[in-house]
Amino acid sequence: MNVKKAVIPAAGLGTRFLPATKAQPKEMLPIVDKPAIQYVVEEAVRAGIEDILIVTGRHKRAIEDHFDRSYELERTLEDKEKYAQLNMVRDVSELADIHYIRQKTPRGLGDAVRCAKAFVGDEHFAVLLGDDILIEEDETPAIGRVMKDYKEVQASTLLVREESVQDLTKYGIVEIDQHGRVQHVVEKPKERPASRWAITGRYVLTPAIFDEIDQQQEIDGEIQLTAAIGTLLQKEAIFAQIYEGKRYDIGDQIGYIKANIELASQRDDLGEPLQAYIAHLLSH
């Protein structure tokens, strides 16, 4: 069974980026000149995903507008014969079949995923978190690797990455055996866990996850997806795939700045002048 549907939760308030996110979705903050959420959508498309559901919230219409046609802008670019920019704008609106649903109150990642229940139906589905920009050296989409593993094991599969000890409290942490099967999962452990494998924003899940989400109690006003995965683990096998590519955690300011600098430095049009400027800064 191929994974054909993906869910991208994008309903968070983005409080760590206030005041920039007061009237603008954090998912629309640009990494150089491309909104962060576009990187995630493009990853799903490159992996062969056919339908994408973006779970939004209030004040998130800019996301819908970004992936929609902009006839006035297209006409202006065409009249000015700016065909490269015209094609770029049109390509964004033709990336995939993108659907939207609102999470009416911000109740955590688990609740955001639950909003996709009708969209998913009885299919396995991918989940991609917008705070994680994942770049493989060979340009293979990270979610595509997870989907490939899922086809082999026919079970929910999580992408995991070994994190430093001081960062483990930020993530859902899993323990895995030598076969890659998940043995235990905990969300943001308060004490040092037995494992350093952190869930890295990419999942393929069975529809059974929705029943588990329904059974979860709110913790600090949120329903945790990791907790639902933990109870699902008691009923069916879950596997982990180790990720060794580049990850930018753009959910905080430092990660966001790093992503902008590093991705800009790799571009043919920006890399050389940016590196020269950084060298100038460091010399003073």
Q: Residue 42 is encoded by which pair of tokens?
A: 């493009």
Q: Residue 226 is encoded by which pair of tokens?
A: 């990791």
Q: What is the pLDDT of residue 107?
A: 86
Q: Domains of the chain: which residue ranges?
A: 5-251, 252-284
Range of lowest pLDDT (8-22, 166-180, 238-252) = 166-180
Distance, in Å, from the CA atom of 180 to the CA atom of 97, rounded to the nearest integer, reads 33
Helices (H), the chain: 36-46, 61-66, 71-79, 83-93, 109-114, 117-120, 142-153, 209-214, 225-232, 253-265, 271-282
Q: What is the pLDDT of residue 9?
A: 95
- Reduced to 3 DSSP states, what percent helix, strand and coil does the chain have, rounded to the nearest 5? 40, 25, 35
Mean pLDDT over 31-53 rounds to: 94
Q: Express each pLDDT in 59-117 by its tens digit.
A: 889 999 999 999 999 999 999 999 999 999 999 999 989 999 999 888 899 999 999 99
Preceding peptide of 30 cis, ω within 30°: no
Determine the 3-state secondary structure of 256 from DSSP. Answer: helix
Q: Express each pLDDT in 147-197 by its tens digit.
A: 999 999 999 999 999 888 877 777 788 899 988 899 998 888 777 777 889
pLDDT band at 51 (very low <50, low <70, confident <90, very high): very high
Distance, in Å, from the CA atom of 239 to the CA atom of 122, rounded to the nearest integer, reads 20
Q: What is the pLDDT of residue 280?
A: 92
Q: What is the pLDDT of residue 245?
A: 86
Distance, in Å, from the CA atom of 267 to the CA atom of 15, rounded to the nearest integer, reads 30
What's the mean per-residue pLDDT of the chain?
Answer: 91
| CATH T-level topology, domain 5-251 | Spore Coat Polysaccharide Biosynthesis Protein SpsA; Chain A (3.90.550)
Q: What is the pLDDT of residue 194?
A: 74
pLDDT band at 15 (very low <50, low <70, confident <90, very high): confident
pLDDT band at 230 (very low <50, low <70, confident <90, very high): very high
Q: Give yes or no for a contact between 252 and 137, defined as CB atoms under 8 angstroms apart.
A: no
Would you say how long the chain is, in residues? 284
Strands 125-128, 5-9: pairing kind: parallel
The answer on pLDDT for 23 being more than 90 is no
Distance, in Å, from the CA atom of 261 to the CA atom of 185, rounded to the nearest integer, reads 33
Q: What is the pLDDT of residue 171?
A: 75
More confident residue, 208 or 171: 208
Q: What is the pLDDT of residue 137?
A: 73
Q: What is the pLDDT of residue 170?
A: 76
Q: Which residues contact residue 18 at a Cβ distance below 8 angstroms, ignoring those fewer than 6 apart?
A: none
Q: What is the pLDDT of residue 136?
A: 79
Q: What is the pLDDT of residue 190?
A: 75
With a pLDDT cut of 90, the percent of the chain lying above it is: 68
pLDDT band at 123 (very low <50, low <70, confident <90, very high): very high
First to last CA, the chain: 58
Mean pLDDT over 219-225 rounds to: 89
Give the position of tokens 């979860």. Answer: 216
Distance, in Å, from the CA atom of 146 to the CA atom of 201, rounded to the nearest integer, reads 11
Report the sign of the C-alpha dihedral through residues 137, 139, 141, 147, in that order: negative
